[in-house]
Amino acid sequence: MRTVRILLLTALLVGLATSALAQSVTLLNVSYDPTREFYREYNAAFQKHWRTQTGQNVTIRQSHGGAGSQARAVIDGLDADVVTLALAYDIDAIHERAGLIPKDWQSRLPNNSSPYTSTIVLLVRKGNPKGIKDWDDLIRPDVQVITPNPKTSGGARWNYLAAWGYALKKYGSDEEAREFVRKILANVPVLDPAARGTTNTFVQRRIGDAFIAWENEALLAIEQLGRGEYEIVVPSVSILAEPPVTVIDRNVDRKGTRQVAEAYLEYLYSPEGQRLAGKHYYRPSDPAIAKEFEAQFPDVKLFTIEDVFGGWQQAQTRHFLDGGEFDKIFDSLRR
Amino acid sequence: MNGFVWRQPSVLPGFGLTMGFTLLYLSLLVLIPLAGMILFTAKLDWAQFWAAVTHPQVMASYRLSFGASFIAAGINAVFGVLVAWVLVRYAFPGKRIVDALVDLPFALPTAVAGIALTAIYSTTGWMGQHLEIFGIKVAYTPIGVTVAMTYIGLPFVVRTVQPVLEDLDRELEEAAACLGATRWQIIRRVILPSLLPALLTGLALAFARALGEYGSVVFIAGNMPYYTEITPLLIITKLEQYDYTGATAIGTVMLVAAFVLLLIINGLQWWASRRH
């Protein structure tokens, strides 16, 4: 008799627990390194938004790391509901290698699925002792340049392409652009494998005169390391860096989380999501919100990777794969 | 003629069970992942494999990785014996602390070690700025790579030599001295031969550890192609391009080379202990 009662009680408790579980859902957002602070705040905002909208509790787990290794983790079976990475090439790989998302994933959300953008700027030391004003100063033999290795760091690929695009616009030919980038790379004393390590080299080791960095990382570095120690130099022309986001279709359909995962990404485009992006030094894509942050983001002439390089696949194949332009440049710089 | 015996009969029971577990354990942890790697590499044909593993940039990285690992293991062999000698033969205040310090490179995350070593040995660091006066650059050169590898290999020689030294009979040394041997002769003829097998084991372990090390080395190396790029970094580079087969091809070369070298060292060790 007593056993029956215990069984009944257990059944009741299990039933209650499952119905409570139905009231809550978990998302996994697989992202790259510099978005850590932004998504911490955005997740809290979305949780509140989703609860008022649907009454459901959503728990968001975050994973951060290098964009390439994060994409590989998803390809190898990490159960991500959404990915928010540094460049489209790594998300393309999720389609090509594992078929978890359709080929046209990037056209599913506005602005090439990039709710916020950034650009590439130069960080220099206090008072700008070497008088660095634009990309041209980086080829001077007396200037040391800090940038990570574009073969291992997604961010560094934007740096490299920004310099190449600038030279292409200025001189008009690929040969001269190659020579320009070659001169910059000849001024690089250390190639860190990842962007965060490079900040360490420039800031802690005090190596180098100019640090090529994402605008959001540069602004964050200035904020965290104290104003006045470093200055940002905005070049005349730079690249529009678009870090894209997407739902991982296979995973959300299996887990039944598509609705909340899509809402999670769409909310990035809402005024509140856009404002948080601006607060964390990403350029909002919504022009009205971007206006609120005018003072923070100087006007730069921006070109896109689509315009100048024909998209990520082409840029990657031509410049960064083994035997590409980057390897050729280093081959010619061999000591 | 009964030359080959499959298994020496033993009075202890349980051989089948323990051997079964040993094989299962080794298979799950070592053999299956490694077999997977070789299987992946097999997707390449011979020409592609050869091109991937003999590219000049890869060759330069082998020279650095194997060379620096060997030098680091050699440094540890000399100073590891010295440290073990001090810890075993002398009593001094703080001995327990020094003993514990030896294991620290095992426990500390290697990235932390890499950042700390770089901070000290870069030209602004407090070791680096003095070395710079003599024109010696450590951080961001092959010397820096060797320093990081020496650091992570330190415990191996000390911990393999220490117990052997503890068990060494002092009477042997006293007897040698009574028979008129000089101090140098005692060290060379009595102590070193007994330590040699343990020393070689420590050397092999330190070498293997240095060869596979990634975390601490990439911080101090500077990672310039053809100059300070270690082979594990090139493997990561291949993976970033989603070139899994290229990565496993280089991995296979490292595996085979490391295995052959360890086999040679083990052979030497066997020879040394037999001779003794």
Q: What are the chain B neighbours of A97 within 8 Å (beta carbons)? A: 242
Domain boundary, last residue among A269, A287, A318: A269
| Interacting residues of B167 by C-beta distance below 8 A, sequence separation 6+ | none
Q: Identify which of A72, A200, A335 has the shortest CB distance to residue B115.
A: A200
Average pLDDT along chain B:
91
The answer to whether B129 faces chain A, any CB pair under 8 Å, is no
Residues 96-125 of B with CB under 8 A from A: 115, 118-119, 122-125
User: What distance in Å separates residue A49's CA from the closest CA in chain B?
Assistant: 37
Interface test with A, best of B123, B141, B240 (most A CBs within 10 A): B240
Cβ–Cβ below 8 Å for B242 and A72: yes
Question: Do A50 and A136 lie in a common domain?
Answer: no
Question: Do A174 and A85 lie in a common domain?
Answer: no
A105 found inside a domain: yes
Hey, what are B21's tokens? 């577990």
Q: What is the pLDDT of residue A9?
A: 55
A170 found inside a domain: yes
User: What distance in Å separates residue A209's CA from the closest CA in chain B?
Assistant: 14
**Spatial distance between the Cα atoms of B58 and B268, rounded to a whole number of angstroms:** 29
Question: Do A224 and A318 lie in a common domain?
Answer: yes
Q: What are the chain B neighbours of A151 within 8 Å (beta carbons)? A: 237, 240-241
Chain A contacts to B (CB-CB under 8 A): 66, 68-69, 72, 93, 97, 149, 151-152, 189-193, 197, 200, 204-207, 316, 320-322, 327, 330-331, 334-335
Question: Do A249 and A320 lie in a common domain?
Answer: no
Q: What is the pLDDT of residue B5?
A: 57
**Spatial distance between the Cα atoms of B124 and B121, rounded to a whole number of angstroms:** 8
**Spatial distance between the Cα atoms of B179 and B190, rounded to a whole number of angstroms:** 13
β-pairing, A116-125 vs A283-284, is: antiparallel
Q: What is the pLDDT of residues B59-88, one digit of tens each?
A: 999 999 999 999 999 999 999 999 999 999
- CA end-to-end distance (rounded Å), chain A: 86
Question: Do A195 and A327 lie in a common domain?
Answer: yes
Question: Do A192 and A318 lie in a common domain?
Answer: yes
Q: What is the number of domains present in chain A?
A: 2
Angle formed by the axes of helices B56-89 and B231-240, to 10°? 130
A290 found inside a domain: no
Cβ–Cβ below 8 Å for B227 and A149: no
**Spatial distance between the Cα atoms of B220 and B215, rounded to a whole number of angstroms:** 10
**DSSP assignment letter at A318:** I
Question: Do A29 and A108 lie in a common domain?
Answer: yes
Q: What is the pLDDT of residue B132?
A: 87
A64 found inside a domain: yes
Residue A310 and residue A168 in contact, taking contact as beta carbons nearer than 8 Å: no
CB count within 10 Å of CB A211 equals 26
Q: What is the pLDDT of residue B1?
A: 43
ipTM: 0.80
Q: What is the pLDDT of residues A12-43, one digit of tens each?
A: 555 555 554 557 899 999 999 889 999 999 99
- CA nearest neighbour of B186 among B168, B201, B212: B168
Question: Do A125 and A93 lie in a common domain?
Answer: no
Cβ–Cβ below 8 Å for A193 and B242: no
- CA nearest neighbour of A197 among A228, A153, A160: A153
| CA pseudo-torsion sign A324, A140, A146, A88 | negative
Cβ–Cβ below 8 Å for A190 and B222: yes
A291 found inside a domain: no
Q: What are the chain A neighbours of B218 within 8 Å (beta carbons)? A: 192-193, 197
Q: What are the chain A neighbours of B233 within 8 Å (beta carbons)? A: 152, 193
Residue B245 and residue B41 in contact, taking contact as beta carbons nearer than 8 Å: yes
The whole domain housing A180 covers 118-241+299-332
Cβ–Cβ below 8 Å for B238 and A322: yes
Q: What is the pLDDT of residues B236-249, one digit of tens each?
A: 999 988 999 999 99
**Spatial distance between the Cα atoms of A149 and A193, rounded to a whole number of angstroms:** 5
**Spatial distance between the Cα atoms of A74 and A10, rounded to a whole number of angstroms:** 37
Element (H or E) spanning A27, and its range? strand A24-32
CATH at residue A126:
3.40.190.10
Question: Do A85 and A19 lie in a common domain?
Answer: yes
| Exposed / middle / buried, residue A17 (Cβ in 10 Å: 0-12, 13-18, 19+) | exposed
Q: Residue A68, CB half-sphere, CA atoms under 13 Å: how many?
A: 22
Read off the pLDDT of each residue in B143-157 and give the average, rounded to a whole number.
Answer: 95
Residue of chain A whose alpha carbon sits nearest to that of B117: A205
Cβ–Cβ below 8 Å for B119 and A69: no
Q: What is the pLDDT of residue A4?
A: 56
Hey, what are B235's tokens? 């493997």
What is the SS3 assignment for chain B? CCCCCCCCCCCCCCHHHHHHHHHHHHHHHHHHHHHHHHHHHCCCCHHHHHHHHCCHHHHHHHHHHHHHHHHHHHHHHHHHHHHHHHHHHCCCCCHHHHHHHHHHHHHCCHHHHHHHHHHHHCCCCCCHHHHHHCCCCCCCCHHHHHHHHHHHHHHHHHHHHHHHHHHCCHHHHHHHHHCCCCHHHHHHHHHHHHHHHHHHHHHHHHHHHHHHCCCCHHHHHCCCCCCCCCHHHHHHHHHHCCCHHHHHHHHHHHHHHHHHHHHHHHHHHHHHHHHC
Q: What is the pLDDT of residue A325?
A: 95
> What averages of pLDDT result for each successive group of 10 residues across chain A (335 residues)?
56 52 84 92 96 94 91 95 94 94 96 96 94 96 94 91 96 95 95 83 89 91 80 94 96 96 97 96 95 91 94 94 93 81
A195 found inside a domain: yes
Question: Do A185 and A314 lie in a common domain?
Answer: yes
Q: What is the pLDDT of residue B6?
A: 62
Question: Do A210 and A321 lie in a common domain?
Answer: yes
Q: What is the pLDDT of residues B88-138, one digit of tens each?
A: 999 999 999 999 999 998 888 998 999 999 999 988 888 998 998 898 999
Residue B156 and residue B76 in contact, taking contact as beta carbons nearer than 8 Å: yes
Q: What are the chain B neighbours of A206 within 8 Å (beta carbons)? A: 124
| Residue length of chain A | 335
Q: Per DSSP, what are the bridge partners of residue A63? A: A30
User: What distance in Å separates residue A165's CA from the closest CA in chain B?
Assistant: 22
Q: What is the pLDDT of residues B1-14, one digit of tens each?
A: 445 556 667 788 88
Interface test with A, best of B58, B137, B145, B241 (most A CBs within 10 A): B241
Q: Identify which of A152, A190, A197 has the shortest CB distance to residue B240.
A: A152
A285 found inside a domain: no
Q: Identify which of A69, A193, A200 has the shortest CB distance to residue B223.
A: A193
- The CATH number of B46-275, from 3.30.70.270, 1.20.1730.10, 1.20.120.530, 1.10.3720.10, is 1.10.3720.10
Read off the pLDDT of each residue in B201-225 and give the average, rounded to a whole number.
Answer: 92
Residue A330 and residue B61 in contact, taking contact as beta carbons nearer than 8 Å: no
Cβ–Cβ below 8 Å for A335 and B222: no
A70 found inside a domain: yes
Q: Where are the alpha helices (DSSP H) in A23-122?
A: 36-54, 67-75, 88-93, 110-113
Question: Do A210 and A312 lie in a common domain?
Answer: yes
